[in-house]
Amino acid sequence: MTTYGTLLNHSLNIIHSEKIMNLPYFKNILIYFMLIAFVIAGYCFSLLAWSSFPLNMEQVCGYLFAFNGNSIEQQILATIRAPRVFTGLMIGANLAVAGVLMQGLTRNPLASPSVLGINAGAACLMALSSIGVVLISDLPSILVASLGGIVSGALVMLLGGFFSARPHPLKLVLAGVAINALLVSITRTAVILADDKAYSVINWLAGSISNSDWQQWQNLWPTSLIGLLMAIYVARNLNLLALGNDLAIGLGLSISMTRLVSCLSIVLLSASSVAVAGPIGFVGMLVPHIAKKLVGHNFFLLIPASALLGAALITWADAFSRSIAFPAETPVGVITALIGTPCFVLLAIKSKQS
């Protein structure tokens, strides 16, 4: 009887696994196509929409395939809109992948660069360096931002008990919230003491890509690319880590190595984004959850899907942020916070008791 039962179970398993093998394979390709289409649509929409100049698809095609320097519309596209859209795409991908890595590393559904204080740390040190604090004001901005991200991230991990024997997910998040509050107040103090033109800084602190140009894009893409490649490199390790620390060690994984590479990648990705656009929140927390619903928990699929989704989210959010007070600009970080915080509330309610 039991042998018959196990046999039945076994055959059921085979049928089930075949289903997993075939159908989702097709499904994943479809999902990737849809995500790419979503990104391209966001790209075109963000290039064209809410411009003080009437722009249309014809000029986008002209700009892409037969650039004509005499056409004012194509010049606008080339010098104002295109860098902005590219920066948005890159930053979205960066933050989303950083979020995936953090959630994989801490096995905590609420983890993200903004919740665990990395964005705030990078922004704080950037603000301090921009008001001319000695030592750090001479360094390049990406280095300053990375330094801030590393310090605040390490502080949150340490105080949140991530390295203790039994790390508790809520403690980590609450420590992140507290450090965030501290860093934001230091940033505000520094900025107000430095000068009273603090209004632009409120804008920057909310996260905005409206001032991006090709120069910033040049600073952004190399570090982002390194970060993304490192993320793909640790995907296999994170898959193993998802089985639990003990099992992962048993399967020959070096936990400290995995942590080091992913932390490095997280810091590179979020610091380069903050250096260009200020701390844009909640993309890193929200996108991995949606991507998980779409492609499952395999990090090889999850990381590219999150990158695409994050890129699309930021470009669409940026396009809509222009519409709110057109022709004035609204920082895109405000929009992502408005979308992201309700999801944070839902996750906080729903995330399992550990």
Residues that bind other proteins (CB under 8 A): 110, 159-160, 168, 170-171, 173-175, 177-179, 181-182, 184-186, 188-189, 192-193, 196, 198-199, 202-203, 206, 324-325, 328, 330-331, 334, 337-338, 341-342, 344-345, 347-349, 353
Find how far residue 35's CA is from the centre of its chain.
16
Choice between 66 and 325, CB closer to other proteins: 325
Choice between 188 and 236, CB closer to other proteins: 188
User: Least CB distance from residue 325 to other proteins, whole Å?
Assistant: 5
8 A C-beta contact, residue 292 and residue 31: no
User: Least CB distance from residue 277 to other proteins, whole Å?
Assistant: 15
Concatenate the DSSP letters of all residues of 258-324 into one string: HHHHHHHHHHHHHHHHHHHH----SHHHHHHHHHHHHH-S-HHHHHHHHHHHHHHHHHHHHHHHHHH
Q: How many CA atoms lie within 13 A of 245 on its CB side?
A: 12
User: Least CB distance from residue 185 to other proteins, whole Å?
Assistant: 4
8 A C-beta contact, residue 318 and residue 88: yes
Alpha-carbon dihedral sign for residues 68, 72, 75, 81: negative
User: Least CB distance from residue 331 to other proteins, whole Å?
Assistant: 6
Choice between 132 and 140, CB closer to other proteins: 132
Instruction: Decide: residue 28, CB within 10 A, 0-12 exposed, 13-18 middle, 19+ buried.
Output: middle
Choice between 222 and 342, CB closer to other proteins: 342
The encoded tokens of residue 82 equal 């295109």
Distance CA 209, CA 332 (A): 7
Q: CB atoms < 10 A from the CB of 98, how many?
A: 36
User: Least CB distance from residue 288 to other proteins, whole Å?
Assistant: 17
User: Least CB distance from residue 195 to other proteins, whole Å?
Assistant: 9
Choice between 269 and 334, CB closer to other proteins: 334
Whether residue 327 has a cis bond before it, omega within 30° of 0: yes
The encoded tokens of residue 140 equal 């390049």
Choice between 145 and 172, CB closer to other proteins: 172
Choice between 198 and 232, CB closer to other proteins: 198
Choice between 99 and 227, CB closer to other proteins: 99
Distance CA 127, CA 195 (A): 12
User: Least CB distance from residue 50 to other proteins, whole Å?
Assistant: 14
Choice between 231 and 337, CB closer to other proteins: 337
User: Least CB distance from residue 60 to other proteins, whole Å?
Assistant: 28
Question: Cβ neighbours of residue 159 under 8 Å, at least 6 residues apart?
Answer: 175, 178, 179
Q: CB atoms < 10 A from the CB of 170, how many?
A: 14
**At residue 213, what is the residue type?**
D
User: Least CB distance from residue 64 to other proteins, whole Å?
Assistant: 33
